[in-house]
Structure 1
Amino acid sequence: MTYFNKNMPSGVFKWRGANKWLLMLLLISSNQLIAKDINLATAINLMLKENPSLKIFELRKRSLDGAQYTAGLNPEIEMGLEAENFLGSNPYTAFDQSELTVSVSSVIELGGKKDARKNFASTKYGLLDAQRKINSLDLISELTDSFIDALATQERIKLAEESVRLSEDIYESVKRKAKAGAISDVEVKRSFASLKQAQLTLKGEQSKLERQSVNLSLYWSEKQPQFSHLSGELFDFGVVKEIGQLHQNLEKSILIQALTMNQRLAESTLAVVQAESKADVNWSLGVRRIEESNDAALTAGFSIPLFKRKRNKGDLMEVEAEIDSSRAEQQIALLELYGQVNEFYSLRQAAIEKFNVLENEIIPALTHALELTKEAYLDGRYGYLEYSAARADLIQSKKSLIDTAQSILNYGVQLERITAEPIYNDTAQTQGGDS
């Protein structure tokens, strides 16, 4: 694009400061126009960067960093001061007979307690990562469903505009016949009411899209949408993998991985409890000052708690039960996922069959029927009710086509949420669904 020409008259365009700002504004405006369309991939990227619920996991990771640091610390060393034989009755009224002991003490951990604690903290990182992935996957699924719903509303707006045009056509035809005295004013009023109803439907769909756009932008923390149009193909469904392939992916599902991490966390807890069952050695070492003889001597001691394993038996039983429970939960969850995959896969296939019948048989037949009914109405062979019913049937079938396409895509989103992997074959993408 050429913004100026050196051969232009001097009064037409001069390259000066004010015009530089004008050019910048034009470029900015151009970029804003480009940004008015948004596709699903852009929406997901914005959400992953800006959604506050995902930032919580970074804070939780920082908390785990602190727990990991603490788990790697050795037992603390304590310093003690002990005084004996002072401020009593004769001959202990002063400090002449006192004994002062300065000592240090600590614990020698046995049974690999430190390693068990560190392993427990490390396992929490894996669980946190699995939870973050599940949260991200749920948000992506919710955003995708919302995007599909808004995309369907865009198509319904187009259909509502078509309905308004058809209603206007019928209204004009009715008015012409009424003016010629061929029909009564009752049909004019009916066609006028039908037109107004179509216009109300259009306004309702437009208002719905505005609400959906706001809800979409909230996913990436924008209170007002910076886009005006959604870019996407509502009627392009792709080809889904065979159901056997989807079943194979279930054991790798992030949902199962999270349950596996719960089991590993319980196993790490068991290792900590088992390590705690090993008694530690408490030791102390000090120097004692004896004032009466003006002498000093070393002191040393150690102690071991008795029956430590017996006292931890209840904790061991509790954690072992948690491990068995985690294994059972994995098996139950896997069966539930199999059932969900079967259900959504079957619903999607049935919806695709319905879509194909609507698109290839019902809508073409109703379109032809509307044309024939219009001709018959203008010739006086059909009345207004037949003409209006033919229009309504066609519009309703096209609306059903949009609703069915929306359901097909929503079922695909649920399948991807369950398997946590792409469900579509990279090759063999067909327009209008599975073949």
Structure 2
Amino acid sequence: MRDNLRKRVDKKPIAGRFFAVRAGALLALWSLLGTAWAQENLASSRLSFEQAVLQSLQSHPALAGYEYQLEAADALAAQAGVGPRPELSLMVEDVAGSGDFTAAESAQTTLGITWLLQGELIDRRVDAARSKTSVIETQRQILELDVAADTARYFLQAMAQQERQVLAQHALAQSRAVLVDIRRQVAAGKVPQADASRAQAEVARRTLAVEDIAHQLQIARYRLAAQWGERTPRFGAVAGSLSAPVPPLDIAQLRQRVAANPNLAIFLSRERVADAEIALARAEAGIQWRIDAGIRRLEAANDYSLVAGVAVPLGRRDRNRGQVAALKAEQNRYRAEMHAKAIELETRVYVMAQQLLHSRHVGDALTAKIIPSLERSLADTRSAYRQGKYRYYELASAQQALIDARLSLLQARYRARLNLIEIEKLTGLSLAQISENEK
């Protein structure tokens, strides 16, 4: 599968090898999500990030149409190279008249062939037709980039749901343990029965939360499998973890990499199409020679002769100047739109980088300060509750605060990686070749 993808990338023009960019100096999402993914295989029923992206690029339903578009463009380019057919003509003169020209005794029969010389014009037509292939190729690269990024997002959604499921199951186990402890204290007459009823309700609520996350995880798995055209996922779980640290960012360098984005290359491709069409318009306005040649039968002299002729169109060579001016205006429009798009993409990179840095800061604060403090608070609250110093409300509040903090940490890590995917999409970091860069 990797070899097939590499062959497809190698066939692309240098300006369009957006996916093949080596990203050693840039971010590596692969390292963020765990290099252990590379050792996973489908036989173990655990889907790796690399497998998901490669399968999507190879089998996404929307990508199949571009193969046919390219075939059609190649066929039209070949057709453009077919010149006009020579014309075979037969002319009979001086026949069926009066006097000396009665009957066919004085007939002159000419069998001729006519060529229209369009060598340069045919070349320009072929160039114009082939130039449109680069637009289709760039559009496919844009779609491939979107497919890879969407797959990465769906993969992260499934991973986040898996980790949420772990947290929910841990919270359920904790609430069950608390219920057992409270029932023991109720039996000993230390706490009221109402506390046991509240704890029982908490267990039921945590059970529903686990079931809800299971449904969300199943939805995420189906969305991920649909990226490569499967109606039912054949993998059991996704491999990796959101807990790996996010590397530092060089925002200035990331903004410079926007120039490689195929959303900008599409304007260059369209500009080249306009160039080819300008050359074609000028060629069509030029002189197209027509040559006639043939053989003539002279009945009166019982003889043959050769005939030849040349036809040259008259008029100014710049009669297509209006069309050329319109095409040049289109080129200027493409340049202006590309400039506006570049500013938009650079701004998005900056925004995504700032959001990623904020999410990383939030995650660091939760990991280093907030969660450890809440864990100590829960242990102290549980001890005080057993001694009768706190009510069940304080215990439940301390438990919920810790659960919320752990969910906030998971959400911060998830947002950081979503922002990273968007940055990679905008700057040209290959989502499909990351594993190769890491090896």
Distance 1:191 1:94, change over 3 A: farther
Match of 2:150 among 138, 142, 149: 142
Deviation at 1:364, TM superposition (A): 0.9
Taking the aligned partners of 2:50 and 2:101, their CA distance within structure 1 comes to: 86
Deviation at 1:127, TM superposition (A): 2.9
Deviations 1:78-135 (A, max 9, x none): 222345566789998966676543221121127x323323333343343333222222
Larger Rg: 1
Match of 1:54 among 52, 63, 70: 63
Letter in 2 for 1:143: T
- TM score, norm. by length of structure 1: 0.82
Contact 1:77–1:106, Cα closer than 8 Å, also in 2: yes
Taking the aligned partners of 1:90 and 1:223, their CA distance within structure 2 comes to: 89
Contact 1:234–1:406, Cα closer than 8 Å, also in 2: yes
Match of 2:423 among 389, 392, 415: 415
Is the counterpart of residue 234 in structure 1 residue 246 in structure 2? no
Deviations 1:39-97 (A, max 9, x none): 10111122222223333333233223223323333443122234556678999896667
Is the counterpart of residue 69 in structure 1 residue 73 in structure 2? no
Greater shift after overlay, 229-238 or 352-361?
A: 229-238
Contact 1:282–1:304, Cα closer than 8 Å, also in 2: yes
Contact 1:279–1:308, Cα closer than 8 Å, also in 2: no
Taking the aligned partners of 1:174 and 1:357, their CA distance within structure 2 comes to: 33
Is the counterpart of residue 168 in structure 1 residue 176 in structure 2? yes
Distance 1:79 1:365, change over 3 A: same
Write out aligned runs for 1:262-411 (5 A): 262-289=270-297, 296-307=304-315, 309-411=317-419
Deviations 1:132-170 (A, max 9, x none): 222211111000011011101100000000110121122
Contact 2:282–2:318, Cα closer than 8 Å, also in 1: no
Is the counterpart of residue 210 in structure 1 residue 218 in structure 2? yes
Greater shift after overlay, 214-223 or 161-170?
A: 214-223
Contact 1:237–1:408, Cα closer than 8 Å, also in 2: no
Deviation at 1:371, TM superposition (A): 1.0
Match of 2:255 among 233, 247, 253: 247
Taking the aligned partners of 1:78 and 1:396, their CA distance within structure 2 comes to: 84
1:221 corresponds in structure 2 to 229
Deviation at 1:400, TM superposition (A): 1.0
Letter in 2 for 1:52: P
Any idea what SS the aligned residue of 2:115 has?
A: strand
Count of aligned residue pairs for this structure pair: 395
Could you list the runs of 5+ residues in structure 1 that have no partner in the other structure?
1-30, 430-435
Any idea what SS the aligned residue of 1:251 has?
A: helix
Taking the aligned partners of 2:225 and 2:350, their CA distance within structure 1 comes to: 33
Distance 1:194 1:285, change over 3 A: same
Deviations 1:276-306 (A, max 9, x none): 1212112222334455665544443333333
Write out aligned runs for 1:186-205 (5 A): 186-205=194-213
Distance 1:94 1:201, change over 3 A: farther
1:19 corresponds in structure 2 to none
Taking the aligned partners of 1:55 and 1:231, their CA distance within structure 2 comes to: 28
Q: Relative CO higher for 1 or 2, CA cutoff 8 Å, sep ≥ 6?
A: 2
Contact 2:171–2:206, Cα closer than 8 Å, also in 1: yes
Contact 1:288–1:297, Cα closer than 8 Å, also in 2: yes
Contact 1:127–1:262, Cα closer than 8 Å, also in 2: yes
Sequence identity of aligned pairs in percent?
Answer: 26
Distance 1:88 1:163, change over 3 A: farther
2:116 corresponds in structure 1 to 107
Is the counterpart of residue 81 in structure 1 residue 82 in structure 2? no
Contact 2:41–2:48, Cα closer than 8 Å, also in 1: no
Deviations 1:231-282 (A, max 9, x none): 1121214314411111221222332222212211211111111221212112
Deviation at 1:378, TM superposition (A): 1.3
Deviations 1:331-355 (A, max 9, x none): 1111111101110011101111111
User: Cα RMSD between the aligned structures?
Assistant: 2.9
Contact 1:237–1:409, Cα closer than 8 Å, also in 2: no
Distance 1:394 1:301, change over 3 A: same
Deviations 1:354-388 (A, max 9, x none): 11111111111111111111111111111111111
Could you list the runs of 5+ residues in structure 2 that have no partner in the other structure?
1-39
Deviation at 1:418, TM superposition (A): 0.4
Greater shift after overlay, 382-391 or 41-50?
A: 41-50
Contact 2:149–2:422, Cα closer than 8 Å, also in 1: yes
Contact 1:80–1:104, Cα closer than 8 Å, also in 2: yes
Taking the aligned partners of 1:255 and 1:278, their CA distance within structure 2 comes to: 36
Taking the aligned partners of 2:223 and 2:55, their CA distance within structure 1 comes to: 14
Deviations 1:163-189 (A, max 9, x none): 101211222233233333444433333
Contact 2:60–2:147, Cα closer than 8 Å, also in 1: no
Deviations 1:296-333 (A, max 9, x none): 44443333333354541221111111111111111111
Distance 1:389 1:85, change over 3 A: farther
